[in-house]
């Protein structure tokens, strides 16, 4: 009876996750573009810019792998702690890149492109965090709704 409602809830969470991944990849690509721009315009510390680009690419690869690879329950259960710490570390790297971009823009010569890129980095990072929180709440509530529908039937 509530089969379509359950499917609609699953689809809603799936769509929110899709938007989250779009924001995450957009944020990564904009931060990589900003630091490539910094290297080309010779602003900031060269080795830090290169390190941030390398870490951003590593984050991009990690995100694509964890998005595309379905992790079975045994591996997920055994490696849940490692996965959680890796995900947190990657988030901190993304935040550090954003903060370094703001610092670099404040210390060095300001131009319109750097302002636009840093602003986009900040906005997309905040939206990424907000969407992640929404997804966590929705997934928790989704299971609650599904169990409530099971009890109603």
Half-sphere exposure of 114 (CA within 13 A, CB side): 22
Between 22 and 152, residue with greater pLDDT = 22
C-alpha distances in Å from residue 35, one per residue of 31, 100, 108, 118, 119 = 6, 10, 13, 10, 13
Q: What is the pLDDT of residues 83-99, one digit of tens each?
A: 667 667 767 777 777 77
Pick from 144, 135, 150: nearest CA to 12: 135
pLDDT at residue 114, rounded to an integer: 77
In this structure, are residues 61 and 25 in contact, taking their beta carbons and an 8 Å threshold? Answer: no
Res 80 pLDDT > 70: no
Q: Which two tokens stand for residue 118?
A: 């840093």
Helices (H), strands (E): how many in the chain?
A: 5, 0
pTM recorded for the entire structure? 0.66
pLDDT at residue 21, rounded to an integer: 81
Between 44 and 16, residue with greater pLDDT = 16
pLDDT at residue 10, rounded to an integer: 78
Q: How far apart are CA 144 and CA 65, in angstroms?
A: 29
Mean pLDDT of the chain: 76
**Rounded to 5 degrees, what angle do the CA atoms 65, 69, 73 make?**
125
Q: How far apart are CA 70 and CA 76, in angstroms?
A: 10
pLDDT at residue 130, rounded to an integer: 84
Percent of the chain whose pLDDT exceeds 70: 82
Q: What is the pLDDT of residues 18-73, one digit of tens each?
A: 887 887 788 788 888 888 888 888 877 788 878 888 888 887 887 777 777 655 55
């Amino acid at each position: 009876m509530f089969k379509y409602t359950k499917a609609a809830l699953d689809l809603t969470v799936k769509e929110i996750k899709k938007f989250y991944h779009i924001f995450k990849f957009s944020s990564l690509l904009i931060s990589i573009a900003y630091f490539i721009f910094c290297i080309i315009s010779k602003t900031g510390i060269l080795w830090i810019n290169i390190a941030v680009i390398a870490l951003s690419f590593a984050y991009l690869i990690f995100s694509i792998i964890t998005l595309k690879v379905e992790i079975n329950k045994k591996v997920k259960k055994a490696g849940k702690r490692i996965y959680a710490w890796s995900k947190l570390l990657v988030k901190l790297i993304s935040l550090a890149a954003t903060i370094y971009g703001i610092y670099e823009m404040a210390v060095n010569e300001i131009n319109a492109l750097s302002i636009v890129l840093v602003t986009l980095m900040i906005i997309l990072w905040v939206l990424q965090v907000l969407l992640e929180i929404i997804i966590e709440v929705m997934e928790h509530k989704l299971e609650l709704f599904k169990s409530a529908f099971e009890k109603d039937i």
